[in-house]
Amino acid sequence: MRQKLLSALLFFVSSAIAQQEGQFVITGTMCIDSLRYTPQTVKKIYLSHEVNGQELVVDSAVVTNKQFTLKGTAPKQVTPYRISGFDNGTIQLFLEPGNITVLPFDARFPVGARVKGTPANEVLFAYQALNEANSQTAKERMDKTLADLPDEVRNNDKAFYPYQRATYYVNSLSYRTAAMRFVCQHLDSPVALYIIKYDLFRFFTPKVLEEQYLNAVPPTLRQHPMYWELTNLLRAASLEVGKPAPDIEGETPSGKTITLADLRGKYVLIDFWASWCAPCRREFPVIKQALQELEGSVPFAVLSYSIDSKKQEWTNCIARNNLSHANWLHASVLKGWSSPAAKLYNVEAVPRTVLISPKGNIVAFDLRGEQLLNMVKKIKNGELKPDESASATQNTIPILPEELTDIPDKDLYAQYQALARQCDQSVADSLSALRRSRGERFLTTEDGKAAEKRFRAQANIALTTNRLQFLLDHNTSPLMPLLMQRDMLPLFNKEYGRQLVATVAPQILSSPYTRALDNSVRSLNLMQGNDVPDITLPLADGTKKLLSNYQGQYVLLTFWASWCPDCRRELPKLKQLYTESCHAKTKLTLVSVSLDKDEAAWRKALKTFGINSPDWIQARDIQGTSSPSAKLFGVREIPMNVLIDPEGKAISLTLQGDELLTRVRQILSGDLYYQQETPKK
């Protein structure tokens, strides 16, 4: 017993001395020291951390009898490090003064290793334990879903799948709520910054990240490098039309350094792409056409920034596709997705384009195909005001009132509302405690105001967490999609909206509230290749149909009005397409949605212009340009033509006039893309 006490005392003393001197000692033990994919054992391990996107090794140690030890001086700030030397992942830890222990682990699966001993690593250990508990909860939730179903559904894979899918996404988002709650409880630890960066950052909009998470971080942690890194990432994620474009640099194939700033005074299309990306290659003919259109008339350049990792693959693709033009510049740093420019412009998928004005401001995002060519024509004709919003793809969510009048589940809604009252009470309690400890006058000082702002940010994290988990736990109620649309969807990055829809239980998929949520998500993500909103069409005969009723065929959806001169000029083209479609092998349905408020004027126009043919779908939305359908499709000017494929995905959002005729004829002849792609050699 004395020996155990003595050992514990010595460990405590040595740990305290190490902390005082800024020294760390890392010890680790492998219960199995074999590699996962190679018939060898681990001979050496390496301590490293990330610097400017690259992993930098700072120390190493030989493994002896399945054990290793690393010693050294800890950095001034507690920093995330990794232990590598395995062939199936790394061990995550935080480097700080003191004795750090890697608990016995299987070297074939180093990601599963757990680390304890110092404050930050104890917090990390708790977070990892939480994730393990969440895995068990997820399994229990899926088992309950299965057990609650009747035999005929449980034993039928096709019938069971919708329930399995909804539960899977409930589990997935429940992991997020657990991370949100953990961060709120450990805001004084650098581990919270780590979780925000790697588990939550892409989940929320920049506004939420700033107003809730970064504002909730205490002053002691705001000098941490990870806090500044998050701030910079947030600025990059806050890219908006009209704001200055971040400068980027790369090397040309010949090794010359080029920057975006070098092209100031020109319109610049930044094109993020990769040689292995087929959709990127399909855009090459469009970019060539854009360069030809503006050559000699408006200063215009294309800066194609490759996220390739291998130079030969990059340069071969340039040569093979003849991507040479005086104003088509190529750059890369050959770091793949870790390219600084890709991170700065929040590139999560390619192709991604950003149009920059001659003054260096962002004009538009994600212009592809006809959208790009339509923008090029506006530039050429002097129609574009480059420092104003020009993106045709950034829609807004239809706003629901805070106070709902038609509530499907009033008792459940009362419970939901109580969560907001708890949030308010939490802030009030924190302020009361501050008054007692610092006095009333402190709240009027800058420090006092900052503390109140921090309290409110922390309370809002808790409120969002509790609300989201509440809705996930009640995903069979029609109230759930209604509140998801009103309270949750505006907080999350649009890419995650689909996950919110996916959590809705099969029992209420046909609910109008579910459809409204789904349509809002589709609207936010409306661009070529994505699903279009499924709007309601009030037809001329008094009946209603959904746009989805016409799936299985090509659809040309047109927003127009009888009072619109441009719309009237477009009608002969539509009539021509209608006539041709009647004799085409490929089925095309014309759906025209009028934004006329005057029904008599609309009906008169149908007869006057001869567009009341039986197979030409005519609908009218009495709310005019403020109608939900127009908002869902982001209608800013009419006429607006949306070409939709048989699967309900957008082919084009900008076609008009002769270009509309040409494009639809190409589609009906089997050419899905604007121009055929040059075959790869």
Does 348 have pLDDT greater than 90? Answer: no
- In sequence order, the 6+-apart residues with CB closer than 8 A to the CB of 76 are none
Is the pTM higher than 0.85? The answer reads: no
Neighbours of 406 (CB within 10 A): 6
Instruction: Render pLDDT for 411-467 as a digit per residue (tens, 0 to 9).
Output: 999 999 999 999 999 999 999 999 999 999 999 999 999 999 999 999 999 999 999
Which sequence spans correspond to the domains of the chain? 23-116, 241-381, 410-522, 528-676
Helices 284-294, 370-380: axis angle to 10 degrees equals 10
CATH architecture of 241-381: 3-Layer(aba) Sandwich (3.40)
Mean pLDDT of 130-150: 95
Q: Is 478 left (phi over 0), alpha (psi -120 to 50) or beta?
A: alpha
Give me the pLDDT at residue 338, please. 86
Tell me the β-bridge partners of 116. Answer: 101
Tokens of 101: 């222990």
Give the residue among 335, 331, 355, 359 at the shortest CA–CA distance from 345.
355
| Rounded-to-integer distance, Cα 430 and Cα 432, Å | 5
Highest mean pLDDT among 30-34, 205-209, 394-398: 30-34
Give me the pLDDT at residue 679, please. 34
Tokens of 358: 């001659």
Instruction: Render pLDDT for 466-494 as a digit per residue (tens, 0 to 9).
Output: 999 999 999 999 999 999 999 999 999 88
Does 7 have pLDDT greater than 60? Answer: no
Give the three-class secondary structure for 29. Answer: strand
Q: What percent of the chain has pLDDT over 70?
A: 92
Out of 3.40.50.80, 1.10.10.60, 2.30.110.10, 2.60.40.3390, which CATH number does the structure's domain 23-116 have?
2.60.40.3390
For 271, list phi and psi in degrees, rounded to 5. -120, 105
| Rounded-to-integer distance, Cα 190 and Cα 228, Å | 12
Query: Comparing 23-116 with 528-676, is the CATH topology the same?
Result: no
Does 62 have pLDDT greater than 50? Answer: yes
- Contacts within 8 Å (CB) and 24+ apart, 122-128: 123/186, 123/189, 123/191, 124/92, 124/93, 124/94, 124/191, 124/194, 126/182, 126/186, 127/179, 127/182, 127/186, 127/191, 127/195
Instruction: Render pLDDT for 510-565 as a digit per residue (tens, 0 to 9).
Output: 999 999 999 999 999 998 889 999 999 999 888 999 999 999 999 999 999 999 99
Look at the domain 528-676 and name its fold: Glutaredoxin (3.40.30)
Q: What is the DSSP letter of 301?
A: E
* Angle, alpha carbons 24-28-34 (nearest 5°): 145
C-alpha distances in angstroms, 211 versus 122, 469, 472, 486?
Answer: 28, 21, 24, 19
